[in-house]
Amino acid sequence: MKSLPSSNPAPWSPSAAHNESSPHPFIRKLQRLALLSAADIAALARVSATPVFVGQNTDLVPEGQPVECAFLILEGFACRYRIRPGGARQILTYLLPGDLFGLDAPLVPRSPHALGTLSACQVVRIPHEVLLLLIEQHPQIALALHLSKLVEEAVLHERLVSLGSRSGIERMAHLFCELNVRLQMVSRAAADQFGLPLTQVDLGDTLGLSNVHVNRVLQDLRRQGLIALSGRVLTILNRPQLEALAEFNASYLHLASPTAGG
């Protein structure tokens, strides 16, 4: 695992003019959770104006280190993960475009897990003070961030159910359903198709399966005609059956305050 080359943009990082490439995932996500004013949106746009490009498999925050600033993912897949003494990696959560890491970092002396990229990512580093100010001056943003933490908790609970009591194929189906909905919410997925920049090892470290077993589970899903997966693109071929297999119900991802926009 590489580690992040200090604070400045990596040498191969292009200009910062990329931030209008597509609907801003952070704003889009928070708008779904609370009603934001034009000033709120402007503040969010300002905060995330200078993205940095980070290569895949790069640590943004190493395990056990203090967290110097928050990170906002604009593009790509990142994750929180732990490495066990024997070397095994457990991926705890995925961070997708629009997801924020380190909101509560000032309260935590050292991060109990690492934050790293799984694909090449576009990331914004946000100093704690900036985030603090944002929250103090924009109560609706504070509310949206709070709600987003509650959704994260629900996702974690759902993953616990998967790891604790679902079979390999059910876990995989559930993960795909969840990723599809989460990516759709920030316009990074079509109805039944999205880019999945993960290796089979990544999937295994997420779902508690060996890479070999992941491979066989994927083949099983393909053979049943539920998905297609090749070239880092996942296609859901039979959503009803996939969701049934996963016992998937998207409601846990759709927490919204009564005032929230679409």
Partner DNA sequence: CGCTTACTTGACATTCTTCAACCGCAGTGG
Partner DNA sequence: CCACTGCGGTTGAAGAATGTCAAGTAAGCG
3 binds DNA (CB under 7 A): no
146 binds a second copy (CB under 8 A): yes
Among 1, 42, 132, 161, binds a second copy (CB under 8 A): 161
Query: Can you read off the two tokens belonging to residue 13?
Result: 């990082």
195 binds DNA (CB under 7 A): no
Among 132, 133, 160, 212, binds DNA (CB under 7 A): 212
Binding mask 164-183 for a second copy (x = CB under 8 A): xx------------------
Options 14-22, 37-45, 102-110, 131-139: segment touching a second copy (CB under 8 A) = 102-110
Q: Is 17 helix (H, G, I), strand (E, B) or coil?
A: helix
Among 184, 199, 235, 241, binds DNA (CB under 7 A): 199
Query: Can you read off the two tokens belonging to residue 22?
Result: 């597509």
Options 22-30, 66-74, 207-215, 250-258: segment touching DNA (CB under 7 A) = 207-215
Q: Tell the burial category of 55 from Cβ atoms under 10 Å away from its Cβ (0-12, 13-18, 19+).
A: middle
Q: Is 259 helix (H, G, I), strand (E, B) or coil?
A: coil
The interface partner of residue 66, options being a second copy, DNA, none and the CB cut-off 5 to 8 Å by kind, is none
DSSP per position, 131-194: HHHHHHH-HHHHHHHHHHHHHHHHHHHHHHHHHHH--HHHHHHHHHHHHHHHHHHTT-B-SSEE
Strand order of the β-sheet with 227-230 is 193-195, 233-236, 227-230
Among 213, 235, 247, 250, binds a second copy (CB under 8 A): 247
Helices 211-223 + 200-207 axis angle, to 10 = 100
Positions in the binding site for DNA (CB under 7 A): 167-169, 199-201, 204, 208-213, 215-219
